[in-house]
Amino acid sequence: MSKLYLADPSGYDVKMNEIARHFSHKVEVYPPGSCPITMQISMLRTAANQTCGKCVPCRDGLPLVARLMQKVLDGRATEKTLDNIRMMATMIRSSADCAIGWNAADEVLKGLDLFADEYKSHIENKKCLESIGQKVPCISLCPAHVNIPGYIALVGEEDYAGAINLIRKDNPFPTACAMVCEHPCEERCRRKMLESPINIRALKKYAVDMMPVDKVATPKPNPSTGKSIGVIGGGPAGLTAAYFLALMGHKIEVYETHDKLGGMLRYGIPNYRFPKDRLDEDIRAILNSGDIHVTYNTTIGKDIPVKDIYEKHDAIFVGIGAQTGKTLRIEGADAGNVVSAVDILDQIGNGNLPDYTGKNVVVIGGGNVAMDCARSAVRCNAEEVSIIYRRRQKDMTALESEIESAVMEGIAFAVRQLVSVMGVSKEELARLKVTGGGSKNEVWMQILADVLNTKVEQLESGAGAGYGIALCAAAAGDENLSMNDLIEQTVSIKNTFIPRQYNRELYEQKYQKYLRVYDALKHIYQE
C-alpha cells in the first residue's frame, strides 16, 4: 500500500523536493577550508525562505540578520555590526513562533562564538583568516594529502607508473595504502553530489596491481650532501623519513629491532588483509631510492648505546611506533588469558600462530583491529569467536568491507560445497568466470579464488542473467554457433584473481570445519 499524498495543483512540491534532495547532497560534501561565515549566511537564507510569514521575528528578522552578516563578509562591518547581529538573533530566538526562526537564530549565535576569530578577521583585515581557503576535498581529507585527482587521471590514461610516482610525491607506500587505507578521501568526494563517491582506494589498488611499485623507478636523488642521518625504527614513519631524506641526498642508516622492515604494517595487519609480499614491494622501492642501509635485529640502548648513535650521525629521526596495546580499566583486565590486540597480532605477524582449537575467543571492541583479531582467531581454529561492543553495530568503526568479508567467507564455503555436490572436477574448474552484482566486489572475487583454489575471472559486464539469456537465444537461432564459441567471442575479462597460497591453506582448514558443522546441523533444516 502506497502512502497517500495530495499534491498541490502546480506540482511544484514534487519538483521542489527533488531540488531539496540534491541540495542536501551539496551540504553533505561541503568542502573543507570554506569560510564559515559564507556557510552560515547560506543556511540563514535557506531558513528565511522557509518562513510562513505569520510571525514578524522570523519573517523580517532573519533577512535583516542575513544582510548584516553579508556586510561582515564583504568587509563593510564594524564591532557595532556584530553587536546588532547578536541582539537581533537573541530576540528572534526568544520570540519566534516556531523552530524555523528560533533554530536559525540559535545557529547564528553559536557561529558568533565558534568562529569569533573569523568574524574578527573580516572586520579588522577585510578578509578571511590565512587558514581559510576552499580546498580539493579528497586531497584535504587524505592524511598524506596525495594528489588524488591527478593519479586518478593518470590511471584513466593507463599510465600506471605515472600514477604511482605521483602518489610517491607525498606517500612512499602506494601499495599499503591501496590495500588497507580507510579512504577518508571518499567522505566528501564531489561525486556524492550526484550519487556515490568515486572508489578512490580501488583505483589506487588497480594501479599497483597493474604495475607493482618496485618495478617503477623512484625519482633520482639529489647529489650527496655528505650528511649522515640515523633513523631509529623501520616502520611506516621511519621508512617514510628514510625515503624523502635519501632523495634529498643524505646518507641514511635505519636501525630495526626485528629481522624485517615494515613495523605495524608487517606485524599489526594480518596477511589475509595485507599480504606481506605486497608490503615488500613498497619496501624494496624505498630502499632503492637512494643511499639507504639497514641494520636489523638491533635495539638502540641495548645493542648499541644511544651515545654512539649521536656521535655517528649528523641528525637522528626516531620512529619507534605504537608498540604498546591499550588495556581496559575493569576488573580482570590483567588476567592470564587476556591479551592485547597488539601482542596477538605481533605474534601472528611473526609467524607464531596461536592454537585456539576448541577454545572460545572473545574480542572486545568494534574497530578494524578488533575485526583483524576476530578473523585471525577463526583462522587459528577457534571453536567460537564473539565480538563484544558497547554500542550498536552501525556505530562500529570497522570498515563495512571488513564486516562484509566475514560474511562472504561463509558464503564462499557454501559455493565450494555446491561445486563438490555437482561433481565438478579440478580440471573442469581450471578457471571460473563470475558475473552478477556480487562480481563487482573485488574482495568477494579474491575470497572465491582462495576458497575454490582456482583462477576467478571478473567480467566487464555484470548483467549476468540477461546476458546469458541473450547468448542462449543466439545459439538456438544458429545451429553453427555453440555456447562456448559465443562466450569466447563476446565475453571480455575485466580482472583476474589468482589464489593466494597462504589464504588457500587457511580456508581449506576452515572449510573442513564448515563441513563438520553442516553435517551436524543439516537434519534440522531437513525437518
pLDDT per residue over 452-495, tens digit each? Answer: 888 888 877 655 556 666 777 777 767 677 777 776 666 777 78
Q: What pLDDT, on the 0 to 100 scale, is given for residue 15?
A: 80
For 33-124, give the CATH class.
mainly alpha
Is 412-526 CATH 3.40.47.10?
A: no
Residue type, 515: L
Judged against a pLDDT cut of 50, whether residue 189 lies above it is answered with yes
Q: Which fold has domain 137-215?
A: Fumarate Reductase Iron-sulfur Protein; Chain B, domain 2 (1.10.1060)
Residue 58 is classified by DSSP as I
- β-bridge pairing 315-318 and 228-232: parallel
Domain boundaries, the chain: 33-124, 137-215, 228-318, 341-398, 412-526
Label residue 1 by pLDDT band (50, 70, 90).
very low
Q: Which region among 229-233, 254-258, 404-408 has the lowest average model confidence (pLDDT)?
A: 404-408
408-430 pLDDT tens trace = 666 666 677 777 777 777 777 77
Q: Which fold has domain 228-318?
A: FAD/NAD(P)-binding domain (3.50.50)
For residues 161 and 156, what is the distance between their CA atoms, to the nearest angstrom? 12
Judged against a pLDDT cut of 60, whether residue 96 lies above it is answered with yes
Judged against a pLDDT cut of 60, whether residue 2 lies above it is answered with no
pTM assigned to the model:
0.70
Q: Above pLDDT 70, what percent of the chain?
A: 89
Residue 80 is classified by DSSP as H
CATH of the structural domain 341-398, one choice from 3.30.360.10, 3.50.50.60, 1.20.1440.130, 1.10.357.10: 3.50.50.60
Judged against a pLDDT cut of 90, whether residue 166 lies above it is answered with yes
Q: What pLDDT, on the 0 to 100 scale, is given for residue 107?
A: 95
Label residue 387 by pLDDT band (50, 70, 90).
confident
| Residue with the three cell numbers 542473467 | 465
Q: Which region among 28-32, 282-286, 403-407, 470-474 has the lowest average model confidence (pLDDT)?
A: 403-407
Q: Which region among 215-219, 295-299, 405-409 has the lowest average model confidence (pLDDT)?
A: 405-409
The whole-chain average pLDDT of the chain stands at 86
Q: Note whether 350 and 267 are within 8 A (CB).
A: yes
Q: Note whether 245 and 252 are within 8 A (CB).
A: yes
Burial string for 30-57 (b: 16+ CB within 10 Å, else e) reads eeeeebbbbebbebbbebbeebeeebeb
If we measure between CA atoms, which residue out of 117, 66, 222, 247 comes closest to residue 172?
A: 247
**Mean pLDDT score, 53-66:** 92
Q: What pLDDT, on the 0 to 100 scale, is given for residue 291?
A: 96
Task: Answer whether 228-318 and 341-398 agree in fold.
Answer: yes
Longest C-alpha distance within the chain, in Å? Answer: 89
